[in-house]
Amino acid sequence: MKSLQAFHRESDDIRLLDHLLPRAMTRLERALERFRAELPAPGDEIAAELAAARLGLRMVIDRRQARRRDGGA
C-alpha cells in the first residue's frame, strides 16, 4: 500500500504534468509551423514525423483531461 507521502508526490507530479503538457503542445505546434515554413519540399517527410509526434502528444493531453473530468488521476 502506498504511503500518504508517496500518494501526495504522485498527485503533485500529475498536476505538474497536466500543467506542462498543454504548454509543450503549444510550443511544439509553433515550432512545427516555423519548421514547415523553412523546409524545402523534401522536408515533407520530416514535417510528417513531427505532425505525428504532435498528434501523439495531443492524444495524451486529451486522455489526461478526460480522466480529470471523470474524477480520476
Domain count, the chain: 1
pLDDT digits (tens, 9 = 90+) for 10-55: 777 777 777 788 888 888 888 878 877 776 665 677 777 878 888 8
Residue 73 covered by a domain: no
Find the helix or strand (DSSP H, E) in which 7 lies: helix 4-38
Asked if pLDDT for residue 73 goes beyond 60, the answer is: no
Residue in the structure block whose three cell numbers are 509551423: 33
35: nearest Cα among 21, 49, 19, 16? 49
What does pTM read for this prediction? 0.44
Number of other residues whose CB lies within 10 A of the CB of residue 55? 10
What range does the domain containing 34 cover?
A: 4-68
Residue 14 covered by a domain: yes
